[in-house]
Amino acid sequence: DLVFHLACRGVRHSIGYPLENHEVNATGTLVLLAEARRAGIERFVHVSSSEVYGTARYAPMDENHPTFPETVYGAGKLAGECYARAYHQTYAFPTVVVRPFNNFGPRSHHEGDSGEVIPRFTVWALNGKPPIIFGDGAQTRDFIYVEDTAYWLCRVAECDGLVGRTINLASGQETSVRQLADLVYDVVGKGRVAPEFRPKRPGDVQRHLADVKLAREILGFHARIPLRAGIERLVAHF
């Protein structure tokens, strides 16, 4: 028997949802751990987030990188990680903590506060609107296509050598938001479109780039779907 605890609803981590983030990502994790242990679950995979790191102190960011979350969402995810590790240490309960970096793909949110950058750019490009960039666009992310994340989460769950450990899942490639806008508009066929710049959002990390060496060594990990190919799939979906 296996439990995947996702509880990662995109970027609903703005200052408007602190209690909800805590209840879902911290309290919710603890409740599930207690119930999973009571039910005799054989493997508990806690899907955390790269948001627990905050802005990179060094790059690429390995699993030992300091954790200084800059949002309540990231702090709630880190609390969930601590509960998962504590259950392993205290009760020998078989938990694994996975830190996916920025996921994207079909059915990702593009509307409202939880809208994510790639689907937003895609919708704007398809509608002939310029991209809106918060800050100067130099902030970077490490994007991974959702199908890759799902595939490697299953491999994590099957790997006895990862019990009690923490592991990154990401492409290991760094892309700035400005570069991303150019790429999305190029895939849509709009060419380069001058973005509309707005003030930086609170809690927006400046740099993310994952070190995926551990995943390569233990799982034979590699990102099977490159960024451009993933964007092409997302464009087709929309």
How many Å apart are CA 155 and CA 219, to the nearest integer? 7
Q: Any catalytic annotation for residue 73?
A: yes
Q: What are phi and psi of 11, to 5 degrees?
A: -110, 35
Residues, the chain: 238
27 touches 78 (CB < 8 A): no
**Separation of first and last alpha carbons in the chain:** 36
Q: How far is CA 198 from the centre of its chain?
A: 24
Q: Which of 17, 73, 83, 185 is catalytic?
A: 73
Beta-bridged to residue 198, according to DSSP, are: 134
Q: How far is CA 100 from the centre of its chain?
A: 4
**Cα torsion angle, 71, 77, 79, 81, sign:** negative
Q: What is the per-residue DSSP string for 46-89? A: EE--GGGT-S-SSSSB-TTS----SSHHHHHHHHHHHHHHHHHH
Q: Active-site residue numbers?
A: 73
